[in-house]
Amino acid sequence: MKRENDVLDKIKELASDVYKKIIAMKKPELSAPLRSLSNVTYDPKIGYFELNNQFKTRSMSVSTVKTFAQTLKILGLSKNLVETDDIATKREAYYVSKNWGDVRFLEQAESDTIMDDVEAMFMTNREQLGFIPEEKGGDVSGNLIVIDKDPTTGKEVRIDCTKMGTGAYSVPSSVEHLEFETDAKFILAIETAGMYQRLVKHAYWKKANCILISLGGVPTRACRRFIRRLSDEKKLPVYCFVDGDCYGYLNIYRTLKVGSGNAAHINKYFCVPNAQFLGVTPQDIIDYKLPTHPLKDVDIKRIEDGLKNDPFVKYHPEWQKALKQMLAMKKRAEQQALAQWGLNFVITDYLPKKLENKKTWLP
Amino acid sequence: MAAIAHELAKQQREISVAEFFEKNRHLLGFDNKRKALLTVVKEAVDNSLDACEEAKILPEISVELIDMQNERFKVIVEDNGPGIVKKQIPNIFAKLLYGSKFHRLRQSRGQQGIGISAAVLYSQLTTGRPTKIISKIAPEEPAQMYELHIDTKTNSPEIIKEGIVEWKKEHGTRIEMDIEGSYQKGFQSVDEYLKETAIVNPHVTIIYTTPKAEQMIFPRATSELPREPKEIKPHPYGVELGILIKMLRDTEARTVQSFFMNEFSRVGPGTVKEICEKAAIPPNTKAGEINMQQAERLIKAIRETKIIAPPTDCIVPIGAELLEKGLKKEIKAEFYTSITRPPSVYRGNPFVIECCIAYGGELEKEKQADVLRFANRVPLLYQQGSCAITKSILTTSWKSYGMQQSSGALPVGPLIILVHLASVWAPFTSEAKEAIAHYPEIVKEIKLALQECGRELLRYVSKKRRVFDELKKKGYIEKYLPHVGEALKELLQLSDKEKERVNSSLKEILEKSRKVEELYEVVHDDEEGKLGILGGGESEEGE
């Protein structure tokens, strides 16, 4: 997935399309797939949310003439970046617009929306267009050597993730060029930084021979792509260890595994279809007698919505059962609630037991 | 016991009307100094206008207030009316409840003949100074001058000075009185009262000199006098027991039958027969012999008898066109609409409601609408809250007419709502004549008038909004369109000529489609285009 020159062709194609329409006295149009859960299908053989055929087409009108001009301007910026092999963060792109006069962006949210639109129009990811996100990916430690390039000299750099001390290797915003060496048996993706710290501190990766990755909430695209590439190239299974709540299930895990509706046009690359759910499951809450919090109204609504509209949940009866179980007990538990049985209970008991018995997992 | 009764009898005596009002001055609008100044001016001006119109003279009235320091003012009101004959002057100005208006049913400003003499009394009570009157009835007649007090015990005029003076006017009356008062501008001020008077009396010219010696002239907008109101007899539905008994006692008619036919409107032989049958009183019973019980039966019978509504030609509305003209000359707005409703009847009294709405222009935008209330061409400045006009405005849904309104409040916007009630007998909530009573028939008519004006208002406001949107869109095209050409030029390395062609074609495309677009376009958030062109779906990602 290197930056391809066909992005340039796509940009020019679209621009000349618009140009020809105008010269022919027709309203120019822009069209992109409808980005929503209602426009995706889930097939486990493919492994991720796939876009359906619903498209959204906007023709230029008086009220959209400004955003239309902005879209073309962003395309121009992208063309420039690709041609000069440069990059701009989303924030930088927003600042570049400041010398566009009347069509400059007033808020970064406006430029972000237009970048998302362009991404969807071309069915590509924004990195291909020369735009990179502000945020970086997750933290990594364990039995892994990442082979990167020195940004100034282009020389190979080997990063040994066993030698990070109590710190961590952090996933860069673009991961396409990385290569890996590892003999670990699996990747453990962890939701919270707190739990990750505990496992690093006690060198759990050594004990279990694995790679630890902290997701930090819903994983960034770079982090998802990193896990995906690592998993694909080294044939490593990916185990997810998140909070026992609807956010952990339906936002973090579901997005990591099969992607999202909003960014469905890039799910193909930015998801990890072979991820598996280790915990915390609703049954774990009962089995390990975890301290809980009551579900809020929004949680209940989110779960009900998931049961009704999420193609992933609708496909897996196990998940439906688990979500209904949570609805019935009206409780949720955090990963760190395991500390109830001692700070290192998670290392000495929970993880080993769970790894032993995959029947307690969810798909 | 008898001793006590005798003792009490010593204290029991007739209370003179003047004494009564001395103690209850608030009933007549003299509650405080500010209001007193307004009431004095108002009584004098109302009298002048009534007199001029009755004599078919185009009124030209001058009002002058002179600040005498220490909260004293000299009020001078002069008119070009018919003047008053010499022997009537003391009674009119210095005898309470003396006048020509109470005993007849005819649309006029004053009703009871209490106003101006109360003002004279107030002047006397607060400053001790007599009121000076000059009046002249014809160019060849001398001008008569009086200085008057009221004897409050006997309610009769006390002449301090009288004589003949030089006066250049051909005819007219001038009144000068010193009173205690306080002068402020704005809401409920003399200035406001005169301005509103000028609005609903477009045939009147008023020259006003304020205590600060500023002169304001409210010129007339028409030289046409209002049609003379016809005097009518009361309608049976409007009489109450006490009035009926008094009328029976005073009538010259011999029998009950002739009494009803002579003293009331809309009563013919058939109606009398029906009333008398229902009251079980023979029609040829002598009118003077009807006792209390029989009178009560008559009242009851009247209520149960169907009687034609009173004639309505006795009402003289201002007229929608003139009302609008009047408002236009004093209020600078951008849109006016007005209506005169057909006559209607409450309790046997015919009345007409008129409404005029002014919108936009120099009117303030972010405040509650101004309400201008009038009864028989007199502005009502006090007790807005308890008036039927206010109630009707509050219970009208102004949101349907393009205005903002929170529930139970006046509409908000650059708006003036004027409502005028014309009637032979305007029902006020009190003697101070400040608020119109809540008769359902009156409220209903006011609301109908407001709704009709409201619909016109909505039509205007919507049209304005459309024009505004149109201009905004035009601005959009001119502002943003060149950037499309610029961007395409960069993307496709176009020449300047090609770029110009893009811009001119695009302009044509967009302008052509604007009409169609208006029909389909959904209201969108126009805050500088927060809306992305294509927009995303749900935001479930933490990115």
Residues of A in contact with B524 (CB under 8 A): 63
The domain spans of chain B are 17-218, 236-304, 320-456, 462-520
Residues A207 and A311 in one domain: yes
Residues A175 and A46 in one domain: no
Minimal Cβ distance to B480: which of A18, A22, A65: A65
DSSP class of residue A349 equals I
pLDDT exceeds cutoff 90 at A62: no
pLDDT exceeds cutoff 70 at B470: yes
Residues of A in contact with B522 (CB under 8 A): none
pLDDT exceeds cutoff 50 at B526: no
CA distance A349 to chain B (A): 32
Residue B360 region by backbone torsions, left for phi larger than 0, else alpha for psi between -120 and 50, else beta:
left
Would residue A1 count as lying in a domain?
no
CA distance readout (Å), A2 to A129, A135, A267, A271: 11, 21, 17, 18
What CATH number is attached to the domain comprising A329? 3.40.1360.10
Orientation of helix B241-250 relative to helix B256-263, angle to 10°: 110
pLDDT exceeds cutoff 60 at B514: no
Expressed as residue numbers, the domain containing A47 is: 6-132
**pLDDT band per the 50, 70, 90 thresholds, residue B364:** confident
Domain boundary among A96, A111, A132: A132
- Closest-CA residue of chain B to A33: B534
Predicted confidence at residue B100, as pLDDT, reads: 57
Would residue A28 count as lying in a domain?
yes
Residues A176 and A298 in one domain: yes
Would residue A342 count as lying in a domain?
yes
Residues of B in contact with A66 (CB under 8 A): 476, 479-480, 528-529
Residues A144 and A103 in one domain: no
- Closest-CA residue of chain B to A35: B537
Domain made up of B320-456: CATH architecture: 2-Layer Sandwich (3.30)
Residues A186 and A120 in one domain: no
What are the helix (H) ranges across B26-173? 33-54, 89-94, 115-127
pLDDT exceeds cutoff 60 at A33: yes
Q: B533 and A79 in contact by Cβ < 8 A?
A: no
- Of A167-176, B91-100, B489-498, the range with the lowest mean pLDDT is B91-100
Beta strands in B250-348 (DSSP E): 335-340, 344-346
Residues A202 and A341 in one domain: yes
pLDDT exceeds cutoff 80 at B10: no
CA distance A102 to chain B (A): 7
Residues A77 and A143 in one domain: no
Residues A109 and A178 in one domain: no
Residues A150 and A120 in one domain: no
10 Å Cβ neighbour count for B233?
Answer: 16
A82-117 pLDDT per residue, tens: 888 888 888 899 999 998 988 999 988 889 888 888
A95 is catalytic: yes
Predicted confidence at residue B528, as pLDDT, reads: 33
Of residues B84, B87, B95, the one with CA closest to residue B157: B95
Residues A308 and A330 in one domain: yes
Minimal Cβ distance to B502: which of A19, A100, A117: A19
Residue B356 region by backbone torsions, left for phi larger than 0, else alpha for psi between -120 and 50, else beta:
beta
Residues of B in contact with A61 (CB under 8 A): 510, 513, 517, 521
Average pLDDT of B490-508?
A: 89
pLDDT exceeds cutoff 50 at B537: no
Average pLDDT of B323-349?
A: 91
Measure the CA–CA gap between B530 and A111, rounded to whole angstroms: 10
| B468 Cβ contact partners less than 8 Å away, ≥ 6 residues apart | none
- Say which residue, A134 or A249, is predicted with more confidence: A249
CB-count burial class (<10 Å; 0-12, 13-18, 19+) for A276: middle
CA distance A105 to chain B (A): 9
Average pLDDT of B276-285?
A: 90
Residues of A in contact with B481 (CB under 8 A): 65, 69
Residues of A in contact with B526 (CB under 8 A): 63
pLDDT exceeds cutoff 90 at B524: no
pLDDT exceeds cutoff 90 at A136: no
- Closest-CA residue of chain B to A221: B543
CA distance B514 to chain A (A): 7
Residues A110 and A23 in one domain: yes
Specify the CATH class of B236-304 in words. Answer: mainly alpha
Specify the CATH class of B17-218 in words. Answer: alpha beta
Q: A260 and B513 in contact by Cβ < 8 A?
A: no
Residues of B in contact with A32 (CB under 8 A): 534
Residues of B in contact with A303 (CB under 8 A): none
The chain-wide mean pLDDT, for chain B, equals: 85
Minimal Cβ distance to A65: which of B476, B528, B537: B476
Share of chain B above pLDDT 70, in %: 89
Interface mutation vs chain B, best among A13, A63, A122, A256, most B CBs within 10 Å: A63
Residues of B in CB contact (< 8 Å) with A are 473, 476-477, 479-481, 483-484, 487-488, 490-492, 494, 501-502, 505-506, 508-510, 513-514, 517, 521, 524, 526, 528-543
Q: B480 and A75 in contact by Cβ < 8 A?
A: no
What is the interface size between A and B, counted as CB pairs within 8 Å?
Answer: 155
Residues A125 and A255 in one domain: no
pLDDT exceeds cutoff 80 at B27: no
Q: A72 and B513 in contact by Cβ < 8 A?
A: no
- Closest-CA residue of chain A to B527: A106
Would residue A128 count as lying in a domain?
yes
Number of domains present in the structure of chain A: 2
Q: Residue A106 in contact with residue A142, Cβ under 8 Å?
A: no
Minimal Cβ distance to A262: which of B484, B526, B536: B536
Measure the CA–CA gap between B238 and B349, rounded to whole angstroms: 6
Domain boundary among A99, A132, A165: A132
Residues of B in contact with A23 (CB under 8 A): 501-502, 505
Interface mutation vs chain A, best among B468, B476, B491, most A CBs within 10 Å: B491
**Reduced to 3 states, what is the DSSP secondary structure of residue B249?**
helix
Q: Residue A314 in contact with residue A37, Cβ under 8 Å?
A: no
Average pLDDT of B14-28?
A: 70
- Closest-CA residue of chain A to B473: A62
Q: B494 and A19 in contact by Cβ < 8 A?
A: yes
Would residue A19 count as lying in a domain?
yes
What CATH number is attached to the domain comprising A66? 1.10.10.10
Q: Residue A207 in contact with residue A352, Cβ under 8 Å?
A: no
Minimal Cβ distance to B491: which of A66, A75, A107: A75
Q: B542 and A100 in contact by Cβ < 8 A?
A: no
Q: B537 and A34 in contact by Cβ < 8 A?
A: yes
Predicted confidence at residue A249, as pLDDT, reads: 95
Average pLDDT of B405-431?
A: 89
Interface mutation vs chain A, best among B468, B472, B478, B483, most A CBs within 10 Å: B483
**pLDDT band per the 50, 70, 90 thresholds, residue B110:** low
A335-354 burial code (b ≥16 CB/10 A, e <16)? bbbbbeeeebebbeebbeeb
The chain-wide mean pLDDT, for chain A, equals: 89
A141-191 pLDDT per residue, tens: 999 999 999 988 889 999 999 998 888 999 988 888 899 999 999 999 999
Token duo for residue B303: 């209520």
Q: B490 and A76 in contact by Cβ < 8 A?
A: yes
B281-293 pLDDT per residue, tens: 998 888 888 888 9
pLDDT exceeds cutoff 90 at A242: yes
Residue tagged active-site, from A19, A94, A95, A315: A95
The DSSP element (H or E) to which A240 belongs, if any, is strand A238-241
Q: Cα dihedral angle (B451, B457, B463, B466), rounded to 10 degrees? A: -90
Residues of B in contact with A75 (CB under 8 A): 487, 491
Minimal Cβ distance to B541: which of A60, A110, A255: A255
Would residue A198 count as lying in a domain?
yes
Domain boundary among A132, A160, A192: A132
Orientation of helix B115-127 relative to helix B33-54, angle to 10°: 140
Helices (H) and strands (E) in chain B, counts: 14, 14
